[in-house]
Structure 1
Amino acid sequence: MSLSQSTLYRKIKSSTNNTIVGFIRSIRLKKAANLLLSTPYSLKEIIDLVGINDTRYFIKEFKKQYKVEPSEYRVKAVI
């Protein structure tokens, strides 16, 4: 099955109520949250593993999605 780029974008937008960029970002943040809870990796290692290049951007977007910073997310899960 082949789709044009614009058709793919429209299908993702209609099924996720998100842009393709937002959809990919949310997948990366979800993967990072999982790694924070299940590995001893440093934040920098996790950011690299999920394919984000800017630490400040990652922290800002993580906080926007999860309402806490990544370090707090990890600590709260341990308690």
Structure 2
Amino acid sequence: MNKLIVCLIIQKYLRYKIEYKRMLYCKKCEKEVVVMGVPYSAMSEDELNDIKTKTGQENKLILFNPPPIIPYHCPDCGAELEEK
């Protein structure tokens, strides 16, 4: 699971730098999917929306807090994800 988790570094003034450790891919959507574990109690809704916007600008989908069992499924279409 550690290989799939995205490291989120919260910098001063809540500017985010998202570092992608490993990507999954959805053939149906033809997009990369970032897997990210986020403690919801530690972040506000605006902060989560900011992360979604930044990944969307890079034409990537984001899968928040997936279950520990693979295969993972696309958050958009539900298709099974492949390792990129």
Relative to the length of structure 1, the TM-score reads 0.31
RCO higher in 1 or 2 (8 Å CA, sep ≥ 6)?
Answer: 2
Q: Which protein is bigger by CA-based radius of gyration?
A: 1
- Alignment TM-score, normalising by the size of structure 2: 0.30
